[in-house]
Structure 1
Amino acid sequence: MTGLIAQARLVTLEGGEGVGKTTVLNSLRDALQSSGMEVVCTREPGGTPLAEQIRNLLLDTHHEVPAFETELLLMFAARAQHVRETILPALQRGAWVLSDRFTDSSYAYQGGGRGLDAAFIAELELRVVGIQPGLTLLLDLGVLQGRDRTRGRDLAGHGPDRIERERDEFFERVRAAYLSRAAAEPQRFRVIDATPPADVVAAQAVAYLRAHMDSVQ
């Protein structure tokens, strides 16, 4: 998108529920550190103390349900803080940043899932965020399989948050929005089938990261 500054050392992980982003992020971190790189691992919404408080507001199931526009604006409020307090300082000192979700999540969840105007999201991205990842790894998994995985996590004592409680139709729209963005920006996105075992998925992600690192150096 015109006006956004691409940050080669910012790598983001995207995908729906249950795709296994945490396992992949850990493998990417290990690969970068083994190459002697400083790595900052972070997440959205969150990544700073203030942004984490906004995350709690967004995902808590005990208060009133936010309007869709409220949800979107809170996401960008957290993201603005995240970019300025965590991401940009790390990039400026030469570190690599691995983020579990970034702006593409707003296009998928609030745009695709909630039906909010993509042009409005793009305007917020330009004015509030201003940067774009150099590489985005989209872990793609069928909604039903993803829900099965999160159900197992819920049984382990981690109850679903407010967004995880949405209906399957919502997550089908989220997945379609992600795939549409990946098709529109093939130079930035790499789509990875998240169906195989976690180590196989992680190995594919690391291979894409190493190829990207070669292009940066």
Structure 2
Amino acid sequence: MTQPHGFFITLEGIDGAGKSTQARALGAWAESEGREVVLTREPGGSAGAEEIRRLLVEGAPDRWSGETETLLFTAARRDHLERVITPALAAGKVVISDRFADSTRVYQGAARGELRGFVDALHSLAIGREPDLTLILDMDPEVALARGLARASGEDRFEEEGLAFQQKLRAGFLALAEANPARCRLIDAGRPAEAITADVITAVREHMR
């Protein structure tokens, strides 16, 4: 019996857009189709990366410069890639990650300063991998921000940047989708969760053929 090819899916979008909910729903669907699934997240996903996550998502908004944030995210991503993503894909599993490199491109490369060249150079040197499919959940930043802050998770350092920052992020993700049409699929996330999930599954079916 031929081992299935691994498939790497990422969910992206502004804070509060429902990425975690859709990642779980997509994982359940993929398992119902007979695939082994690894659900993971960034920053984090491996033991070392989870330690770095706390440095990134807690504390004051101005805790780090954009350059330092980029270095921390890249270190966490490298560990995540080595210990979780690459082995799972080699074993033929479907890897579904709540965020990956596109978040760093948008958050640090577009919204926190003109650091895109720095972000891209680090990605090329240390990561060098793109997802097979990226689902960008798009919704009104004001609604998403209210939802994100209402969680009161203690990991709201980026939400505390305010609405203008979230609007910059949304513009960055929309530009990313336009620039990468073969890999990125834009999903309207301002609808009931079931409708969003249906579109997510449709997009994945088309790309996994």
Counterpart position of 2:107: 109
Tell whether 2:172 aligns with 1:174.
no
Counterpart position of 1:183: 178
SS at match of 2:159: coil
Counterpart position of 1:140: 138
Aligned equivalent of 1:16, options 3, 14, 17 = 14
| CA distance in structure 1 between the partners assigned to 2:185 and 2:6 by the alignment | 14
SS at match of 2:125: helix
TM-score (structure 1 length as normaliser): 0.90
| CA distance in structure 1 between the partners assigned to 2:171 and 2:205 by the alignment | 27
RMSD of aligned alpha carbons? 1.7
> Partner amino acid for 2:74?
F
Contact 1:10 1:97 in 2 (8 A): yes
| CA distance in structure 2 between the partners assigned to 1:183 and 1:63 by the alignment | 29
Q: Which runs of no fewer than 5 residues in structure 1 stay unpaired?
A: 1-6
After TM superposition, give the deviation of residue 63 of structure 1 in Å. 10
TM-score (structure 2 length as normaliser): 0.93
Tell whether 2:196 aligns with 1:201.
yes
| CA distance in structure 1 between the partners assigned to 2:149 and 2:75 by the alignment | 30
Percentage of identical aligned residues = 42
Counterpart position of 2:95: 97
Aligned equivalent of 2:159, options 149, 161, 164 = 164
> Partner amino acid for 1:72?
T
The worse-fitting range, judged by mean Cα deviation, of 56-65 and 128-137 is: 56-65
Aligned equivalent of 1:57, options 47, 55, 80 = 55
Matched residues, number: 205
SS at match of 2:107: helix
